[in-house]
Amino acid sequence: MDRRADLHKRERRRYVIGYGGSLLLTLAVFLIAHRYGIETKGVYLSIGLLGLAQLVVQLVYFLHIDRRRSSREDLDLILFSTLVLLIIIGGTVWILGNLAIRMHLQMM
């Protein structure tokens, strides 16, 4: 029973760490936006990177996805879906952006 109590504590700490990390990243994003304005691309790049970091933190600490052997199947599935997503989003933005330039709409 003691071992289970120990495990419970450890798992709870994982969630709290994930929550704290996500909270810090969220605060950082809004603070950056508040202080520096959201007009420049450099600021947006840092916001984007912090967003990506938060996705990773939540996947690891909330959804328990890591590189341990037994969660590989989930990880494979997520990585494959991410690949599909990147092709879909990247392709759409590329094609429509290119079309806009050719039609002088100055969109992208």
Partner 1 sequence: MRRAPTQSYPGINLGEGHASAHKATEVVTFGFWVFLMSDLVYFGLMFAIYITMIDAQAGGPGPHELFDLKSIFAQTLILLTSSLTVGLAMLALKYNLPRARIVLWFGVTLVLGLSFLVLEIRDFLNMAAQGGIPQRSGFLSAFYGLVPLHGLHVASGCLWLIVLGIQLRMFGLTDLLMSRMVRLALFWHFLDLIWVGIITIVYFGGLTYG
**Chain residues that interact with partner 1, rule: CB under 8 A:** 4, 7-8, 11-12, 15-16, 18-19, 22-23, 26, 29-30, 33-34, 38-41, 43-44, 47-48, 51, 54-55, 58-59, 62-66, 68, 70-71, 73-74, 77-78, 80-81, 84-85, 88-89, 92-93, 96-97, 105-108
Nearer to partner 1, 34 or 104 (CB): 34
Q: Tell me what percent of the chain is helix, strand and coil, each rounded to the nearest 5.
A: 85, 0, 15
Least distance (Å) between residue 2 CB and partner 1: 13
Residues 6+ apart with CB under 8 A from 106: 100
Least distance (Å) between residue 105 CB and partner 1: 8
Residue identified by tokens 């938060």 is: 54
d(CA 4, CA 73): 26
